Structure 1
């Protein structure tokens, strides 16, 4: 029996759990769909899903386990919860930004945050941004913060330029 992660994010979808899991696992390396469960006859008066439809999809993104649930239209994603992707290079930032924002809400893009086509919020964060914001030289970190607040996708070269002014 496989070991179960103590804490696993569960993402509630109307009926796109399998589609979303396939979308995410195609973007992140070291990712896979682990198991898919289906609704049965039991509880149909509550879940109102036809027997045989996908109920949950267990999947991993870069080794991090997730569960996607087809729970119906009751709940929607919002920006109160997001997933951070820590990137080493601009190429990584560009890759995740382009892949995850495709078909998403362009009005929700700011400060490295984006909302994907399912309404899930992501923060695509270059590690150097965190270092710059934690810099002991307050004026420098404030310039970086001001610049970052004006960006949608974070541009590392621009932050570096601003940090040395």
Structure 2
């Protein structure tokens, strides 16, 4: 007899006070995303914000300055093509800080991995040397560039 599990998981992101603004930004960038509930404090400010990104549920808690977000938790955003990588990267980077290998930290401190799906295909290439060349190229990039990943994968070793 198969039973349907009732336990689920829900990532919760701790913000100081501006979690609603962050959630509004995130849902504006990712298709199939929406804010589903805002629970307010007695003063009208948002306490929690429930939202979905590409159908996956998240929760924001405006819990004050006691804790800070870190790259120990990141959201991976798989993009269909370079145009989507560029659009999402630029929007999330606004006021934030870029890192390496497709990672950035947005202005609220949330870490993102902005990854073209093509990288996953190159990493899974049946030729391990080709896959390795793509990975090595990725390691030297900040924003991931599909054309450069493909060129590295296709490069003929000297």
TM-score band, normalised by shorter chain: 0.7 to 0.9
| Superposition map of 1:14-163 within 5 A | 14-40=16-42, 51-106=43-98, 109-163=99-153
CA contact (8 A) 2:132 2:153 kept: no
Structure 2: distance between partners of 1:38 and 1:90: 38
Moved over 4 A (4+): none
Residue ranges of structure 1 left out of the alignment (5+ in a row)? 41-50
SS in 1 for 2:60: strand
TM-score, length-normalised on structure 2?
0.87
In 1, the alpha carbon distance for the partners of 2:18 and 2:64 equals 9
1:78-137 CA-to-partner distances (Å, cap 9, x unmatched) read 11111111112111111111111111023xx21011111101011111112112122232
Distance 1:54 1:162 in 2: 47
Distance 1:5 1:77 in 2: 25
Q: Per-residue deviation at 1:140?
A: 1.5
Q: Which residue of 2 aligns with 1:8?
A: 10
SS of residue in 2 equivalent to 1:125:
strand
Query: Quick check: 1:110–1:152 contact (8 Å CA) kept in 2?
Result: yes
CA contact (8 A) 1:144 1:163 kept: yes
Q: Could you tell me the TM-score, scaled by structure 1's length? A: 0.84
- Indicate how the Cα distance of structure 1 residues 121 and 5 shifts in structure 2: closer, same or farther if over 3 A, else same: farther
